[in-house]
Structure 1
């Protein structure tokens, strides 16, 4: 009944509030874990009292909305991951983060001259038009255009000129040598004709990736079509991690992504109906300082702050031993991680 549903919702939110307050103090961590498990059991009761959902899609729960689906402007992680499904770039990376061909192969003609040749089988946009070197040129010139204010402009500022040699061949000439230059060409390629028309790629992306847009009218709900089997993939924003878990257990979503309490992950890992997949990550958490500030601009102050942070305890108690100490910006798995 609606009354029963309302009471359960009230209990749910009250429990979340209590758990959050308890988790803020290290002394009550053991008590928090016990209460959290009890809360999940309560959630299980809540879930079983609801009706099953019948759908024919794959639904993924996200922890935040994508800000934009235009690869020229995306900087947040969610937008970037979705853009990789919608667009292809000239290059990609292997597991050690070495640049490898995606849309194109390349050759280094000189330290300041690189030639890229597009691969024939990948050259078609979702609207049916062919992807050519003209589209590559238009995409990167758009990023380099200071009036467009792309946040990625500085990463390719060494480009002096872009020249179309043939339908599938394009040359990049640089202002100065950059041995890592191929790895900088990670922007998804856009159709030249739509760039000139100022198409709204942020909401209506046209790329040539493994998925294409179906619907993005609601900021919290994105639908993509997976091209190889015509399956609809839904991306639903659920900012509360507990709500994502509830919907996963209920069957309203099939996968969840984003931050989850370590206790919940451990509990889910014990359920036969849930598959928890773990992988070493390459993201990191950091403190940034204003180097022009008279206090934190002093290296002795920054050293003191660094020594005052108990990283071992943060990893053990806050992150549930699901992280590792970062000794540099790059992880050890990166080809330059141990340099």
Structure 2
């Protein structure tokens, strides 16, 4: 009897230990682009949010995988009847990863820094309507606006508005300290970033204890890393031609969703000859969108005719306004005095949609007499030369920020579109809360930038990811550029 009981106990213990061993608590996620630094509040690089949004840093509100906006560090809020005052009740017991308390002073510091004259925040324009941020008490913040903004809670969910602390801001680009469920551990530049579960987190603890983000920019290397099972997930997989092979392999799952990524042929509107709307319209008619989607993305992507996501209820299909028509493109160039064409530059950052799409677009432009010199640049070079330096003719990039048509109201933005009528329209939109009126204004905004051919509107980027079959809880769609690990776990 004693021996039987001992045997049963031993078998049960072994089974229990085997069950524990099978429940993995670490994960390796590959992404294509490495962040230039680790401060999401002072750069335009979405790669920063890809690693840190919702994992390490949190805002007053946050995006969920379905695109909804829910409370974040603000447990609740009240909005005054005139829409000018937002009073946020902060969550109790929230600490930064260095053990210091997160309170109203940190919220005030964050937004004062965003709005400062020397601010490097890439989305400062979203928050310039804030006239004052007041500490009511440690758990209460009052935010005052100059005019009502129907997008304010949405804007506060952006990675550019995550809450940071004055005590750690000096080293934030290398040592990010947030309030999220994971804390930053290390960054081996050119290779990986490691994060681990923050035991002091105020909310529900994530199932994962550790996560490693690997940077693999080359599509061939991306395929090899997944097939060899060196990585558990490849978020935004850069080689769509390989997806059928992964779909046929029971070791993997392929996630196909949508993003907020309007992929565009960005045009320097102040650089001749692109300061002539006829030249920009010629560009638009020289482009065969479907050929780009088929050739660069193997059919994954939705054609767009303006800077707006097709899955948004306010989207207007304007692709017909810039339909592929090489003869019309040539006629427009002739009308603009450029019948013999011209030469320009085409800066291409690393993503496959840019490098592969750029080759196709260069050939399409050449067909109407436009010679585009391809210049391949790394992401940091693109940010310095194109985004900040505005030293380019054309470039290809996917704008992955959610509902970001407002960037066209900023004449200092890198493509330098300056239209006072559009700026006035966006000011009206920001001050409007009625849903039907907002929809009509957004439609008008789409029509204006399409008619002005501000950029060449190509396609809405598909969200294509590959993961091991046992990984669960990943976002399928990408309402913002983030690899949210808060709900990710391994099936047993």
Interval containing the TM-score (normalised by the shorter chain) = 0.7 to 0.9
CA–CA distance in structure 2, aligned partners of residues 129 and 238 of structure 1:
35
Determine whether 1:320 maps to 2:298. yes
**By how many angstroms is 1:141 displaced?**
1.0
- How does 1:31-110 map onto structure 2 within 5 Å? 57-84=26-53, 85-94=55-64, 97=67, 99-104=69-74, 105-109=76-80, 110=82
Determine whether 1:115 maps to 2:93. no
Is the deviation greater in 297-306 or in 147-156? 147-156
CA–CA distance in structure 1, aligned partners of residues 172 and 122 of structure 2:
16
Q: What is the TM-score with the length of structure 1 in the denominator? A: 0.76
CA–CA distance in structure 2, aligned partners of residues 315 and 217 of structure 1:
35
Match of 1:297 in 2: 275
Q: Specify which of 243, 256, 276 is matched with residue 234 of structure 2.
A: 256
CA–CA distance in structure 2, aligned partners of residues 268 and 184 of structure 1:
37
- Partner of 2:267: helix, strand, or coil? coil
Match of 1:285 in 2: 263
Q: Specify which of 234, 247, 255 is matched with residue 269 of structure 1.
A: 247
Match of 1:179 in 2: 150
- Count of residue pairs brought into register by the alignment: 281
Gapped regions of structure 1 (runs ≥ 5): 1-54
**By how many angstroms is 1:259 displaced?**
4.6
- Partner of 1:287: helix, strand, or coil? strand
Match of 2:104 in 1: 133
Q: Is the 8 A contact 1:96 1:333 kept in 2?
A: no
CA–CA distance in structure 2, aligned partners of residues 100 and 255 of structure 1:
26
Q: Is the 8 A contact 1:66 1:79 kept in 2?
A: yes
What CA RMSD, in Å, does the superposition of the two structures yield over aligned residues?
Answer: 2.3
Q: 1:146 to 1:88 in 2, by over 3 A?
A: same
**By how many angstroms is 1:333 displaced?**
2.4
**By how many angstroms is 1:217 displaced?**
4.0
Q: Note the alpha carbon deviations across 1:145-175, whole angstroms, 9 max, x for none.
A: 2234332323211121110011111111123
Q: Is the 8 A contact 2:96 2:178 kept in 1?
A: yes
Q: 1:57 to 1:91 in 2, by over 3 A?
A: closer
Match of 1:169 in 2: 140
Q: Is the 8 A contact 1:289 1:297 kept in 2?
A: no
**By how many angstroms is 1:223 displaced?**
0.5
CA–CA distance in structure 1, aligned partners of residues 219 and 244 of structure 2:
14
Q: Specify which of 149, 165, 168 is matched with residue 191 of structure 1.
A: 165
Determine whether 1:156 maps to 2:127. yes
Q: Is the 8 A contact 1:96 1:335 kept in 2?
A: no
Q: What is the TM-score with the length of structure 2 in the denominator? A: 0.53
**By how many angstroms is 1:326 displaced?**
1.4
**By how many angstroms is 1:226 displaced?**
3.2
- Partner of 2:242: helix, strand, or coil? helix
Is the deviation greater in 328-337 or in 235-244? 328-337
CA–CA distance in structure 1, aligned partners of residues 30 and 150 of structure 2:
39
CA–CA distance in structure 2, aligned partners of residues 324 and 230 of structure 1:
34
Q: Specify which of 183, 206, 210 is matched with residue 177 of structure 2.
A: 206
- Partner of 2:118: helix, strand, or coil? helix
CA–CA distance in structure 2, aligned partners of residues 174 and 245 of structure 1:
49
- Partner of 2:28: helix, strand, or coil? strand
Q: 1:296 to 1:230 in 2, by over 3 A?
A: closer
Gapped regions of structure 2 (runs ≥ 5): 1-23, 199-204, 317-442, 444-492
Q: Specify which of 95, 106, 112 is matched with residue 124 of structure 1.
A: 95
CA–CA distance in structure 2, aligned partners of residues 226 and 201 of structure 1:
19
Q: Is the 8 A contact 1:91 1:182 kept in 2?
A: yes
